[in-house]
Structure 1
């Protein structure tokens, strides 16, 4: 059985490689997007829209960082701001039509990449891998 330290080092290396690929793919999806701005845009879609403070809390970022990132998304025409119905002083950030189209295209590209990468994997391997990822991500 492999040494636990070696195994954890391997996991760390492989997850770092995964993150590096994710950053590169974000830039290919749109040259003005970083992985952070892309994931914020995706989170806005998942939640149906949210406030900047919600993004800061979800991603554990400073409000000024969120403000800069959302300004980029707005400049690119990928989000819209709407008055918060619960607090007229606040704004809800939502993906624009262009933002939704970009997210849909990115989802299709990612899906095709996964289909290609997993061609040789059997159903049991995929189910096991899916379960491990869910288990890993469930820990906060």
Structure 2
């Protein structure tokens, strides 16, 4: 795809998007810390991923999030030690360990979901249904594009 010419305001819009997404990421890290003092954003992301994708290996997590295997290994070990996840032997290949949410992990994610929903309800209370629909659509599009973009 050829680069888009610098249309008037495009550079300013892109800088604004970068600034706002950075602020969003900072708030996300702070929110993760409030959910559980020992739960980093990376740990919370891993738990969420395991909720969506059962039977996930640590190497799958590293590949999915483009993280170093040692980083994921440390996070997984801490989550297992704290009772948020558990390892099980893969039923199809007994040499492989798969990760699952433990009951404590399920509980913390359920609590976080309720808190997040309340925060979004409060923050977006004044937005019209049309604005919410557009915003949701843009986020879906952005994330879909991000999965196909090169790093």
Question: Structure 2 length as normaliser, TM-score?
Answer: 0.90
Could you say which residue in structure 1 is the equivalent of 2:82?
A: 76
The answer for unaligned runs of 5 or more in structure 1 is none
Could you say which residue in structure 2 is the equivalent of 1:55?
A: 61
Match of 2:39 among 33, 36, 53: 33
Could you say which residue in structure 1 is the equivalent of 2:4?
A: none
Q: What is the distance in 2 between the residues matched to 1:95 and 1:109? A: 19
Count of residue pairs brought into register by the alignment: 140
* 4+ residue segments displaced more than 2 Å: none
Deviation track 1:78-117 (CA, whole Å, cap 9, x = no partner) reads 0011001122111111110010000000000000000001
Are the counterparts in 1 of residues 50 and 100 from structure 2 also a CA contact under 8 Å?
A: yes
The answer for unaligned runs of 5 or more in structure 2 is 1-6
Are the counterparts in 1 of residues 55 and 90 from structure 2 also a CA contact under 8 Å?
A: no
Higher relative contact order (CA 8 A, sep 6+): 1
Q: What is the distance in 2 between the residues matched to 1:22 and 1:135? A: 20
Could you say which residue in structure 1 is the equivalent of 2:117?
A: 111
Match of 1:14 among 20, 43, 51: 20
Q: What is the distance in 2 between the residues matched to 1:48 and 1:23? A: 24
Question: Structure 1 length as normaliser, TM-score?
Answer: 0.96
SS at structure 1 position matched to 2:38: coil
